[in-house]
Amino acid sequence: MAKRKTKFACQECGYESAKWMGKCPGCGKWNTFVEEVEMTGASASRHTFGFGRDQSFKSKPEKITAIESEKEPRVKTAMPEFNRVLGGGIVPGSLVLVGGDPGIGKSTLLLQISAQLADKELSVLYISGEESVRQTKLRADRLDIGSDQLYVLAETNLFDIAKQIEEIKPSFVVIDSIQTIFKEEVTSAPGSVSQVRECTGELMKIAKMNGIPIFIVGHVTKEGSIAGPRILEHMVDAVLYFEGERHHTYRILRSVKNRFGSTNEMGIFEMKEEGLREVLNPSEIFLEERSQGAAGSTIVASMEGTRPVLVEIQALISPTSFGNPRRMATGVDHNRVPLLMAVLEKRVGLMLQNQDAYIKVAGGVKLDEPAIDLAIAVAIASSFRDQPTEPQDIFIGEVGLTGEIRRVSRIEQRVQEAAKLGFKRVICPAKNLEGWTVPNNLQVVGVNSVREALDVGLGK
């Protein structure tokens, strides 16, 4: 006989307790505990979805030396940017979570991917828990999508979804979104911690047992993280974030977890009336509106996965009106700004302690690698001295606390990207000058300290 067990679960982090508490010990949030009924015993596990359930009980431990290593076959879409973010294509049996702000274009992206797979004579089941089939059809008409291999289902019951997957046997499945799907045996409301966890677990079994790639859409909280318990991101094979301002046309698809590829890859898309269009050369996009001859502007070659991207970094230094000067940063870690300003003040002699500092990465890109330190430092010094840098200069390097410029990775790819876009000079660490060939019509200057870099970039 099954027994009913009552528990309380935090709707923010998934922390479970036998009694209600006002403040969650796990995440520190207030009034987030909700009562849930859990079934224990024989009937609690009788509903296991997926056609091939008995296969999970036949596996036995194997010696790792006896296992044949085969390269995972990948299915490529018609979007090279999407394939790049996933590590080269879609892996059969993978479970991919796509998150992003409301209205950013998650459903549009996945519907376009579904249509591209259907055009390859691969059956795709698109399950929408938020829209009717007619609403999905309206979006498909706007995107000029139509294929007999693309099936649309409006359903939120997980048992019915699994039944349709068993009948149709699709090659790919899209769930939009996981917060609307519910399992009947779980008494809490759809979107709760228990429902999201249990539904994702069942979908993972279906994907692994039958080799069906499943894409699930996840809502995000106002802090920008995917709603639901953190275990949701641990269960899936890949987590993709769709970023960008809703009122701007450019979108960035970024991988923050990928069991089958790099987690540093980034894809750039542009939102058009007919759908998302990939941007094959993002460096030109980020530099097309750069002001010529303006102080406080520098260019850096940043690596996003295996791709070098040229981005403009802007700095505005102005005298403060208050006792404590402001330090604000957009697109870079805000803790890096006071650190670099302290290096400039101590090692170079710039009096910045009574100056407000505002740092911005143009284009809405977020940079987090240490190779951008030198470009930020030069931009700050350029704005403070009101002395512009040369428009054809690029600054690359990590800045240490003693003012030294440390070597960075993949300097050759960064310099080749600069040469491709017509830049004339690259200021980089002197330690990086060995072991590679400089492109024609490009001057590479090696520097050992911040002072030396400022002498080269701004003049003495």
Best CATH choice for the domain 74-280 from the list 3.30.565.10, 1.10.8.350, 2.102.10.10, 3.40.50.300: 3.40.50.300
Split at pLDDT 50, 70, 90, the class of 55 is: very low
For the chain, give the mean pLDDT: 87
Does 360 count as an annotated binding residue?
no
Distance in angstroms (rounded) separating the CA atoms of residues 317 and 322: 14
Threshold 0.85, pTM exceeds: no
Does 106 count as an annotated binding residue?
yes
Q: Which CATH class is domain 285-458?
A: alpha beta
Does 424 count as an annotated binding residue?
no
* The pLDDT of residue 430 is above 80: yes
Secondary structure letter of residue 58 according to DSSP? S
Split at pLDDT 50, 70, 90, the class of 452 is: very high
Please name the amino acid found at residue 405. I
In DSSP notation, 373-415 reads HHHHHHHHHHHHHT-PPPTTEEE--EEPTTSBEEP-S-HHHHH
* Of residues 264 and 25, more confidently modeled: 25
Fold: same for 74-280 and 285-458: no
Q: Which of 60-69, 109-118, 394-403 has the lowest mean pLDDT?
A: 60-69
Does 291 count as an annotated binding residue?
no
Does 73 count as an annotated binding residue?
no
Does 105 count as an annotated binding residue?
yes
Q: Which whole-number Å values give the CA distances from 434 to 26, 301, 411, 430, in the listed order?
A: 50, 19, 10, 8
Does 299 count as an annotated binding residue?
no
Does 293 count as an annotated binding residue?
no
* The pLDDT of residue 415 is above 90: yes
* Nearest by Cα to 90 from 261, 345, 254, 224: 261
The per-residue pLDDT for range 162-215, each reduced to its tens digit, is 999 999 999 999 999 898 999 988 877 888 777 888 899 999 999 999 999 999
The structural domains of the chain, with segments of one domain joined by +, span 3-44, 74-280, 285-458
